Amino acid sequence: MQDKDASQYVSVSTEVWNDLCDLVLNIIQVNRHLVRLVQKDKQEIFNRLESINDLCIKLNHRSVELEQGIIKIRKRTQ
């Protein structure tokens, strides 16, 4: 049972890492757009900022799940 739980949290941590990578890539893309900002790019930047915000919210939820899972595993192994 503990191996299954540990595997689940490894899977969640992998998802969190992937979401973090996506977030970093989006931040880089937004920065590039900001550097060459022109009037027509404003909507694209807004859309990317919304995407970053959504990823941050998702990442926060996943990190809370991961933290709770780690706490459960620690309690079981003590």
- pLDDT tens-digit readout, 27-78: 888 877 777 776 566 777 788 888 888 888 888 888 888 888 888 888 887 7
Mean pLDDT of 14-33: 84
Return d(Cα 10, Cα 44) in angstroms, integer: 35
What value, to the nearest 5°, has the Cα angle with vertex 34 and ends 32 and 36?
75
Number of domain units in the chain: 1
Which residue did the predictor score with more confidence, 18 or 40? 18
Q: Domain containing 68: what range? A: 2-77
Q: What is the pTM of this model?
A: 0.51
For residue 75, the model assigns a pLDDT of 84
